[in-house]
């Protein structure tokens, strides 16, 4: 009797996460490991080999049907399936069950709330909020809509902005830095004073102006750029503490 073989362009995959992208009238799919797609998208997983169960592009993962080269080149402008897979991972829709989606969304919501708690402070008390309070505010105050393709840190920054817009008492944590500026650059020192949200201490010693100040985290890079451009690197800045805040259970003095 003749031997009947399965078509060579078919390979069945089970227990996979499927990422789908429809473009140029065609549907393309990737067979991925569960829980790895989001890790790839938020940058915590950098090895695409740890994400893909197969390095081939499919038209139907469930049936094991591969996309043909002609369709791939027409849709993506290349035959390189690794490059195509990266595009599908970036833009495609992750197919999950309603239960899996709910669990993943709750986990992401909790992670965002934790990040907000770490990055922010109640300006009235200078203490951080417990993540449970942040999570409640996300749901009830701003009715936050999760962005599943954005990582938790990016969304945490957005949550802080939205909460402030709703008059929720919250500010980004400030960083404490020490700037050492030669006295000949007094104009630069004045610029740094204006950038500071608070001057903790200031003194002059050995022809240098020493500033101990509080700034927003993103301003550290701005100060470094000013020093390079306007003092030729003769001034320096040292980070003393990042995201300075009192813990939620710390007693006020």
Model confidence over 83-128: pLDDT tens digits?
999 999 999 998 877 777 788 788 899 999 999 999 999 989 889 9
Handedness of CA 109, 114, 118, 121 (dihedral sign): positive
Query: Which DSSP helix (H) or strand (E) runs through 175?
Result: strand 174-182
Q: What is the mean pLDDT of residues 132-151?
A: 92
Task: Dump strand ranges (E) for 69-162.
Answer: 93-95, 120-121
Count CB atoms within 10 A of the CB of residue 18: 20
Give the H or E element holding residue 176: strand 174-182
Where is pLDDT greater, at 229 or 3?
229
Q: Tell me, what's the pLDDT at 2?
A: 35
Confidence of residue 190 (pLDDT cuts 50, 70, 90): very high
- What per-residue confidence (pLDDT) applies to 143? 96
Q: How would you class 244 by CB atoms within 10 Å of its CB: exposed for 0-12, middle for 13-18, buried for 19 or more? A: middle
Buried b (16+ CB within 10 A) or exposed e, 102-137: eebeeebbebbbbbbbebbbbeeeebbbebeebbeb
Task: Please report which confidence band the pLDDT of residue 145 belongs to, taking 50, 70 and 90 as the band edges.
Answer: very high
CA 12 to CA 4: how far, in whole Å? Answer: 17
pLDDT tens digits, residue range 193-205?
999 989 999 999 9
Higher-pLDDT residue of 223 and 126 is: 223
pTM beyond cutoff 0.75 = no
- Mean pLDDT for all residues in the chain: 87
Confidence band of 9 (pLDDT split at 50, 70, 90)? very low
Same fold, 98-171 and 174-244: no
Reply yes or no on whether the pLDDT at 1 is more than 70: no
Residue 8: band (very low, low, confident or very high) from pLDDT cuts 50, 70, 90 = very low
Q: CATH assignment of 174-244?
A: 3.30.70.240
- Does 1.10.3720.10 match the CATH number of domain 17-95? no
Q: Are 195 and 217 in contact (CB under 8 A)?
A: no
- Residue 15's pLDDT band (cuts 50, 70, 90): low
Q: What is the CATH number of domain 98-171?
A: 1.10.10.900
pLDDT category at 41 given cuts 50, 70, 90 is confident
> Are the CB atoms for 154 and 222 separated by under 8 Å?
no
Domain ranges of the chain: 17-95, 98-171, 174-244
pLDDT score for 141: 96
Percent of the chain beyond pLDDT 70? 90
Average pLDDT (217-245) is 90
Residue 132 confidence (pLDDT) = 96
């Amino acid at each position: 009797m003749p031997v009947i073989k399965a078509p060579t362009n078919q390979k069945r995959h089970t227990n996979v996460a499927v990422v789908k992208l429809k473009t140029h009238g065609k549907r393309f799919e990737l067979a991925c490991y569960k829980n790895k797609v989001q890790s790839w998208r938020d940058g915590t997983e950098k090895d695409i080999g740890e994400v893909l169960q197969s390095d081939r592009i499919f038209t139907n993962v469930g049936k094991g049907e591969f996309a043909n080269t002609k369709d791939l080149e027409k849709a993506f402008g290349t035959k390189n399936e690794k490059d195509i897979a990266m595009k599908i991972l970036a833009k495609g829709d992750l197919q999950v069950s309603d239960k899996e989606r709910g669990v993943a969304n709750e986990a992401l919501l909790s992670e965002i709330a934790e990040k907000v708690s770490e990055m922010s402070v109640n300006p009235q008390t200078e203490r951080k909020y417990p993540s449970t309070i942040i999570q409640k505010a996300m749901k009830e105050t701003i009715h936050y809509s999760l962005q599943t393709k954005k990582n938790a840190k990016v969304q945490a920054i957005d949550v802080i902005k939205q909460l402030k817009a709703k008059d929720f008492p919250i500010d980004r944590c400030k960083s404490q830095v020490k700037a050492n500026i030669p006295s000949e650059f007094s104009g630069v020192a004045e610029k740094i004073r204006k950038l500071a949200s608070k001057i903790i201490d200031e003194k002059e010693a050995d022809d240098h102006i020493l500033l101990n100040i509080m700034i927003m985290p993103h301003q550290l890079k701005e100060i470094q750029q000013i020093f390079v451009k306007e003092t030729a690197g003769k001034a320096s800045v040292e980070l003393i503490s990042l995201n300075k805040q009192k813990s939620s259970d710390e007693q006020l003095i």
